[in-house]
Structure 1
């Protein structure tokens, strides 16, 4: 079952990479129907009419469909294997998004972008390698699940506020919003796994399962809203890198707290996990710093063509 879960997660990563490029293109090329002649560069939040115009675009709908397929594959994988094995494999979406974005713009990725992607991949691959050998699972509790959900929700609110406080577009705004979306999706993954374990013991209509379903729906909606704003603020590679790093770290942390998936992990392994997580985070920051949009912004020029990929 673990091998099947890994295979499904790999297919999901391909879906997420393709969806990110398609939706980013739709978000960044759709004009705000209510925009003033001077434009809306200072807008912090996508207006309702603007969002409606975006979601009607054919490319956005294609991306949404592909993302839904990836989410379904990922959800099935979570039913078959522990969070610590499944979640980090999605890092493959990072290089795929880089290649797809560069191919769409008919430009070669810069060495800085490639290095940032490579460091991110290496960090998460190491995270998977250390995690896989010590992943165990226990039955979750309703109180623990509620507390963990509230804490994760608080982090989402703080990161969202930090991102929305900044005007216009830019890598820092993109990072904050994408990170908030990653925490929301990490919570979503954890709740799916908790619900699966609870349903096996107490039944699918138990209060814990129903509560997890409600929380998962809320986390999904919040994550989707934040990711669209992140696409509007920056490049798809930055967004997908944040998601593939933040999502598994949050999910693994919640899995350890709620399901005991870290109960057999030694101190040495925890140190290795910390180093791998730090490397992955450094890779995301490097990618955000070296991406053509960030380089163009520092030089005071318009974003490079790759930003429309």
Structure 2
């Protein structure tokens, strides 16, 4: 029952996050003007705090994040994290509705593939029993998060290299890596607290808290910067591909967290992931890479 509730919470979080992404990109493009690289752009982002549209999107994103955290407290990362791909078809429907148009056949097919693949993967991952979490070394955990944070902050500060699509994908991928790692940290902290091991594992819990405080703001900053460079759909597509891969891989390598899949189930799960990823890629190709050409609500 807990795992079913976890999937429902993860799906709710994905819906809220998808709606927040569209709303925030519109606010970013309307507010952050002038220099788009360096400290000038960093200062410009402070003006977003006074924009009601961005604040509403931030509130939606926060609510989605809280739902996702609750899901991680109830189920393994391998089950919860892939559900986030549902944010992509949500943006397709919301963008088409706001622009008073119908989604194209490619967008519909991409949505069906992504939702269908994730639905099948979720059913498969609900079947096996879960494995206990193994506690990592605090220094190893901190080093991994710090390295990813520094690289992502550098990309956000410089604006990335290459054309709009490459810059957008790089920034979105960096933020996705950090979001995936934050999910692992939340999962680990939740396990420590629920098991009553806070006193005995205080150094590890401290590293988790500090890493979340450092990595999450940098990930959010990189995501907002990506909105300036490319469309919200491209950003979300990168997020929903890289985030679960990072979270599942880091969860497996650092925590040994997940479900015990047999050979046939593992192959079936991999096939479902390929189907869902194909849908996400198809959706990404259906939208312009440049933020100035991206569809906006109300347009």
Match of 2:263 in 1: 267
Match of 1:147 in 2: 140
Q: Within 5 Å, which residues of 2 pair with 1:1-309?
A: 1-32=2-33, 35=34, 40=35, 43=37, 47-143=41-137, 146-147=139-140, 150-151=143-144, 154=147, 164-166=159-161, 170-199=164-193, 200-203=195-198, 206-262=202-258, 264-291=260-287, 293-294=288-289, 303=293, 305-306=295-296
Separation (CA, whole Å) in 2 of partners of 1:75 and 1:128:
18
Separation (CA, whole Å) in 2 of partners of 1:162 and 1:272:
36
1:84, 1:128 within 8 Å by CA — same for their partners in 2? no
Name the stretch that deviates more: 8-17 or 274-283: 274-283
Deviation at 1:305, TM superposition (A): 4.3
- Structure 2 gaps, min length 5: none
Q: Do the aligned partners of residues 75 and 262 (structure 1) sit closer, same or farther apart at CA in structure 2, a change above 3 Å counting?
A: closer
1:18, 1:63 within 8 Å by CA — same for their partners in 2? yes
For the aligned residue pairs, the C-alpha RMSD in angstroms reads 2.9
- Structure 1 gaps, min length 5: none
1:220-277 per-residue CA deviation (whole Å, 9 max, x = no partner) reads: 1121011101111122222223223322222122222233334722233333343433
TM norm structure 2 = 0.84
Query: Match of 2:214, SS?
Result: helix
1:262-300 per-residue CA deviation (whole Å, 9 max, x = no partner) reads: 472223333334343344333333322221x24xx6xxx
1:171, 1:288 within 8 Å by CA — same for their partners in 2? no
Separation (CA, whole Å) in 2 of partners of 1:103 and 1:46:
35
Separation (CA, whole Å) in 2 of partners of 1:127 and 1:45:
43
Query: Match of 2:293, SS?
Result: coil
Separation (CA, whole Å) in 1 of partners of 2:298 and 2:230:
10
Deviation at 1:103, TM superposition (A): 1.6
1:120-155 per-residue CA deviation (whole Å, 9 max, x = no partner) reads: 333433433333323523243231x64355346545
1:15, 1:67 within 8 Å by CA — same for their partners in 2? yes
Q: Do the aligned partners of residues 9 and 287 (structure 1) sit closer, same or farther apart at CA in structure 2, a change above 3 Å counting?
A: same
Q: Do the aligned partners of residues 174 and 89 (structure 1) sit closer, same or farther apart at CA in structure 2, a change above 3 Å counting?
A: same
TM norm structure 1 = 0.82
